[in-house]
Amino acid sequence: GQVGTWAWGNQFLWGYSPQKSDAALQETFDHVLNAGINWFDSADSYGTGRLEGRSEVLLGQFLKEHDYKRGGGKVRSSDDVYVATKIAPYPFRLGKESIKKALKESSRRLDRGRAGVDIGQLHWAPPLGWQEKAYWTGLAEMQHEGNIKAIGLSNYGPQKLRQAAETFRKEHGVSLASNQVQFSLVSTLPVRSGLVEIAASEGVRLIAYSPLGLGILTGRYSMEKQRLPEGPRRILFKELLPALAPVLA
């Protein structure tokens, strides 16, 4: 199983604060690791401004502080943990070196030593293709140089995914390993768009994010009982919960 860390630093959507959140996140990390879940996904944009890279920093810290010997869990060593991260294609990132530099900064924040980053991903397709092929080149060079073990994308649709997979294969001699997309009972676009079939034909593994629909599918929230999250999700859930009653039931 995989654990996403979007909430580990995001104030706007998830209401993160170091004082209120870090202890609970540490407890959550220890719990899932002891349960045998050993794959964590992060991003350099999970935490901005003064909290830049906060998710990666916390993940690296938790990996070091977890007591693998006394935890009594199924994951016995930090070497058995897999970490993926995503690099945002911000407009100020120019050329292949910008992506390589950003990935190296992520690796430094994760502080995993030789373990490094298992999957280095581009967080989304840059609008109008801005710098996209340069970013792909940077990812390919990072894999060739041994700085990442595999290349992934995120939020790519079917046609762009096919183009990317062919470019990595033909121009760089590497395989595109994965594409991370929103996929749940309330977000079925990967099935409806043909992405599932195209990814399979290209040998690209799809990774689902928000499989519980930002929490709306957990059964934790209810209009009748006035149990709603704070922040922007509150507005969204007020609109969606009534229509989702049969699914939640």
Least confident segment among 10-19, 90-99, 194-203:
10-19
Mean pLDDT of 137-157: 97
Q: What does the mean pLDDT of the chain come to?
A: 94
**CA dist., res. 95 & res. 244, Å (int):** 44
pTM to 2 decimals?
0.93
Neighbours of 42 (CB within 10 A): 30
Mean pLDDT of 133-162: 97
CB 65 within 8 A of CB 28: no
Catalytic site includes residue 221: no
pLDDT category, 72, cuts 50, 70, 90? low
Q: At what angle do helices 158-172 and 132-144 cross, to 10 degrees?
A: 50
Q: What is the pLDDT of residue 116?
A: 87
pLDDT tops 80 at residue 225: no
SS3 131: coil
pLDDT tops 90 at residue 32: yes
pLDDT tops 80 at residue 73: no
Q: Is the dihedral of CA 234, 89, 111, 139 positive or negative?
A: positive
Q: What is the pLDDT of residue 239?
A: 93
pLDDT category, 69, cuts 50, 70, 90? confident
Mean pLDDT of 133-143: 98
Catalytic residue among 46, 135, 156, 221: 46
Q: What is the pLDDT of residue 126?
A: 96
Residue 135: how many CA atoms within 13 Å on its side-chain side? 27
